Structure 1
Amino acid sequence: MAALDDARVVFAAPVDVGWLREEDAVRQLIACLRLVKGPKAIMLGGQRDPLARHARAVDHLRRVIEEVPGAALLRTDLAAFGALAAGAAITAFGAGSRLRHIVAPGEKAEASKGFPLSPHVLFAELMDFFLGKTLADRFAAASAPVCDCAVCMGAWALDEFASNAGERPARAAAHNVAVLMEWLRTLTAIAPGLERQQWWHERCRTAVERYPLVNAQLQQPDAFKAPPQLRRWALAAPAAAPASTNGQAPAKDQRRS
């Protein structure tokens, strides 16, 4: 690849998430990737959610994106937006869980047993996917949030995807894409750099703070739990943003949110 020196060729870099565990490994990874000119398509390896495995993985991934020219992040999930905020050339959000990470050769991807009886639905407020049946059960005794994305347009509530009957799977998929595209438009409308990184950090922090509030409204303390990766993005404040030790916004930021 170094000999080709051709910007039309993309260097595919499958990287076990273990490389993002410690400082020395991250420095070595960055040095290796910088040897290759042109775009580098990084794909993180590990079972289920690779970035949830190590406490510093999110911080170190952001560092790799910032310090490797032409770095891209493919086959991922929330990290697609975090990478874009950090300056990635391109990213790709996997349409399904199997397309949001890679596994080592010879390994079989771990997955839930059985076939889901309802589609996966993106709960935008909580920034995570849930089975439609799970959402219907959680909101059985309360009014479910009505979605105003470009597909639902205020006509569908999140508890209406409780089965795979009829148009529900297709509508759920369209809803998911519409929400992701809304995030993308908002993110890319902000100038690249610190301001964009701060927006993403505050977006994740606000989502984490919403979990206990939604659970309190439902009177179900453990109804929804913030996923580990989201919590790590919420704690990964950009260098010039005020960091906190518990993921909570400072008072002035809470008022602004």
Structure 2
Amino acid sequence: MLALPIDVGWLRADLVGRLIEEVSAAPGMKAVMLGGQLDPLASFPDALAGLARVLTEVPGTALLRADLAAFGALARGAVFAAYGLSGRFRHVVPPGGPAKSSGFADSPAVLFPELMALFLGKRLARRFAATHAPMCECAACGRRALDSFPSNRDAQSAAQHNAAVLMSWQQTMQTLEVGPERQRWWQERRQAAVDRYPLVNAAVQQPNGFKVPPQLLRWSLLDAEPSASASAGAN
């Protein structure tokens, strides 16, 4: 297997064709790892379209060190994908540059399943302070409120929760045929998450309490493009 840590800039519309030519020339499977700061796939509008092209036009490609894109990649034909359980495993950093951070993490990142996004445990506790938080019934939690991970003392249980939720998604996806069936599951789940944000914000009475992550919105726009749907069906 050829491991390919590449700068996310190669997914731009004017460069991705050259990337596809170079990667296609190499024999065997390829494992792509995107380089950039914070969320590379949210750094410019056509990054996801470029990734979709690579997965469609270079059979046998995997996506490693990813976040939500791991599931989008599997839906679009990736042979496998990896979702990093911590920020440093969700992308690669350009050589010689320090890893940027969105801020000091004084509580663990917790996966909010209905919103398909990670939020700090302390932020969840603040947002749901005046109302009941959603209950998680994953294999790790049993039955536990999502606002019950307020400090780094809860890091291990938060990681177990995240892994259990991700594995449940993965197990569901594995039951579906590669191609349109997986693509439809991904589109419906992603759209349900986007539609859920205003409902959760209304429940906590905070209009901007939870904002849709840029990458999730861009998956939404990509899935809405006729050409993207046609490419996914071709798999």
Q: Is the CA contact (8 Å cut-off) linking 1:205 and 1:231 kept in structure 2?
A: no
Q: Which amino acid in the other structure matches residue 201 of structure 1?
A: Q
* d(CA) in 1 for partners of 2:16, 2:181: 25
Equivalences, count? 227
Give runs of aligned pairs for residues 86-235 of structure 1, distance below 5 A.
86-114=76-104, 116-154=105-143, 156-165=144-153, 168-235=154-221
Q: Which amino acid in the other structure matches residue 178 of structure 2?
A: P
Q: Is the CA contact (8 Å cut-off) linking 1:202 and 1:234 kept in structure 2?
A: no
Structure 1 gaps of 5+ residues are 1-9, 242-257
Q: Deviations over 1:156-187 (max 9, x none)?
A: 1011111233xx22111100000000110111
Q: Which amino acid in the other structure matches residue 134 of structure 1?
A: R
Q: CA deviation at 1:120?
A: 1.1
TM-score by length of 2: 0.93
Q: Is the CA contact (8 Å cut-off) linking 2:85 and 2:162 kept in structure 1?
A: no
Q: Is the CA contact (8 Å cut-off) linking 2:38 and 2:102 kept in structure 1?
A: no
Residue 14 of structure 1: SS of its match in structure 2? Answer: strand
Most deviating of 172-181 and 80-89: 80-89
Q: Which amino acid in the other structure matches residue 58 of structure 1?
A: L
1:74 equivalent in structure 2: 64
Q: Is the CA contact (8 Å cut-off) linking 1:151 and 1:178 kept in structure 2?
A: yes
Structure (1/2) with the larger helix percentage: 2
* d(CA) in 2 for partners of 1:113, 1:200: 30
Q: Is the CA contact (8 Å cut-off) linking 1:204 and 1:231 kept in structure 2?
A: no
Higher relative contact order (CA 8 A, sep 6+): 2
Q: Deviations over 1:15-37 (max 9, x none)?
A: 11111121x31111111100001
Residue 234 of structure 1: SS of its match in structure 2? Answer: helix
Match of 1:45 among 35, 42, 46: 35
TM-score by length of 1: 0.85
Indicate the percent of aligned positions where both proteins have the same amino acid: 56
Does residue 13 of structure 1 match 2:4?
yes
1:246 equivalent in structure 2: none
Q: CA deviation at 1:221?
A: 0.4
Q: CA deviation at 1:130?
A: 0.8
Structure possessing the higher radius of gyration over alpha carbons: 1
Q: Which amino acid in the other structure matches residue 149 of structure 1?
A: C
Q: Which amino acid in the other structure matches residue 176 of structure 1?
A: N
Q: CA deviation at 1:117?
A: 2.3
* d(CA) in 2 for partners of 1:110, 1:40: 27
Q: Which amino acid in the other structure matches residue 82 of structure 1?
A: G
2:49 equivalent in structure 1: 59
Most deviating of 219-228 and 201-210: 201-210
Q: Is the CA contact (8 Å cut-off) linking 1:208 and 1:231 kept in structure 2?
A: yes
Q: Which amino acid in the other structure matches residue 147 of structure 1?
A: C
Q: Which amino acid in the other structure matches residue 128 of structure 1?
A: A
Structure 2 gaps of 5+ residues are none
Q: Deviations over 1:31-89 (max 9, x none)?
A: 11000010111111111000001112112201101110211111110111111111111
* d(CA) in 2 for partners of 1:233, 1:112: 22
* d(CA) in 2 for partners of 1:94, 1:67: 25
Q: CA RMSD in A?
A: 1.4
